[in-house]
Amino acid sequence: MEKKSAGLDPADRAILQMLQEDAFLTTKEIAAVLGLTNTPVFERVKRLEREGYIARYTALLDRRKIGLPMLVLCDVLLKEHNREFLLRFEASVVGLPEVLECHHVTGEYDYLLKVAVRDMDDYQRFIKEKLATLENIGRVQSHFVMTEVKNSTVLPVKEE
């Protein structure tokens, strides 16, 4: 069962905020900001991990520096919408490394994909050789990102 943030106290919220901004912070550094000793901060972090508030730690790469400067938001409409087709599509998309995010959405389309590629040729290959080969694809509409105004992974953990 998913826990809601209502059970978090101000220190928990501060820890979560700090770790989102810099996961390399040490227990000692967090404790100094909070005015606590190391042991309670260490225990809080471990509890937040155990209870699933902290899902994982990861390195966020600059996609441009690793050769993936083109970002595309891709709307996908499926031909059929029964459970089996939806689950098969989702399982297939998970295996496509170009797809950074996949969201089942409301509206005219069924899914919104966030795709990172090298260039237009690379995106065309992705569409022809990967996405279009998936079963039950009805229509795809692409939106090429011209400017990323905001790209953040930091969630607000303010008091409700």
Q: Is 19 inside a domain boundary?
A: yes
Q: Are strands 99-104 and 111-117 parallel, antiparallel or unpaired?
A: antiparallel
CATH number of the domain bearing residue 96:
3.30.70.920
Q: Is 133 inside a domain boundary?
A: yes
pLDDT at 68 over 80: yes
Closest CA to 110 of 135, 139, 78: 78
Contact of 8 with 44, CB cutoff 8 Å: no
Same domain? For 101 and 139 the reply is yes
**Residues 79-133: tens digit of each pLDDT:** 999 999 999 999 999 999 999 999 999 999 999 999 999 999 999 999 999 999 9
Q: How confident is the model at residue 7 (pLDDT cuts 50, 70, 90)?
A: confident
Q: What is the DSSP letter of 126?
A: I
Q: What average pLDDT does this structure show over 41-52? A: 97
Closest CA to 40 of 49, 31, 32: 31
Q: Is 61 inside a domain boundary?
A: no
For the residues of 21-48, what is the DSSP string, one character each? H-TT--HHHHHHHHT--HHHHHHHHHHH
Same domain? For 40 and 103 the reply is no
Q: What average pLDDT does this structure show over 14-34? A: 96
What is the number of domains present in the chain?
2
pLDDT of 47 reads 97
pTM for the full model? 0.86
Same domain? For 76 and 38 the reply is no
Q: Is 152 inside a domain boundary?
A: no
Q: Which domain holds residue 137?
A: 70-144
